[in-house]
Amino acid sequence: MAQPLQPRQIDILDIARREGRVEVESLAAHFAVTPQTIRKDLNELCDLEKLQRVHGGAVYPSNTANLAYQARRDMASEGKARIAEAAAGIIPNNSSLILNIGTTTEQVAHALRRHVGLMVITNNLNVAFILSEAEDVEVVITGGMVRKSDRGIIGAAAVDLIRQFRVDFAIIGASAIDDGGELLDFDYREVRVAQAIIEQARKKILVADHMKFQRRAPVQIGSLKDIDYFVTDAPPPKPIERLCREARVELVVAG
């Protein structure tokens, strides 16, 4: 019979559920205990499959349901900002592009506000709002159902509108990247839209932070082999680097 969780372990689990990730050093300071004590707590929680161990801490397992939107926005926020600047640097002025749902694509939208002559199609109301303030960016929003959790627009109507365009670039995110380079997400309706975006773009840019290699999701969008540029914030695992070389995907490690 499994031993009941200690009060501190329950609190750690609650923090991980709320924020998506916990760090050894910050937990040690928060609970005024040694890092060794926290490592022991995390190891026990991981043994019980309550958390998944990663370098420097642990992440909340989210194999079938995505983390809360604000938690995802806060995770790896500095890395996402670097990714956004690097991705925006690939896009020339006077281009057409599609941005899909995601906290990283929102950061890209912020970085694109300095561009001129852009036409942007998006199924992300947050992206539309960000770019609506740019002086020389034309914004087109898809139809469809608005998902309240993140203001993403999903469904057949969104797919239909996207298929009316042929754009220079697609900028897409993913919730997880599997060991074989598969790009994964949680909502099959969102995946259908993402697949249409990939099909309608001449060049495809994947923007994903290093934590996407530590997560799992059940629905496949496509593969890294479908992508032209992969912009991330840290060197990816060696098998992913090798796959990028073999598939001639340009790997950009921002910062």
The 3-state DSSP class for residue 153 equals: strand
pLDDT digits (tens, 9 = 90+) for 49-64: 788 777 788 877 665 4
Beta-bridge partners for 1: none
Tokens of 86: 């690097």
Count other C-beta atoms under 10 Å from residue 202's C-beta.
11
Q: What is the reported pLDDT for 154?
A: 87
Q: Check if the beta carbon of residue 21 is closer than 8 Å to that of residue 57.
A: yes
10-residue stretch averages of pLDDT, the chain, 255 residues long: 79 81 91 94 87 81 52 65 95 96 91 96 94 93 86 90 97 91 90 94 95 84 96 93 96 92
Task: Give the largest CA-CA distance in the chain.
Answer: 64
Q: What tens digit of pLDDT does each residue of 67-84 get?
A: 555 555 555 568 889 999
Cα distance between residue 146 and residue 155, in whole Å: 9
pTM of the model: 0.74
Residue type present at position 207: V
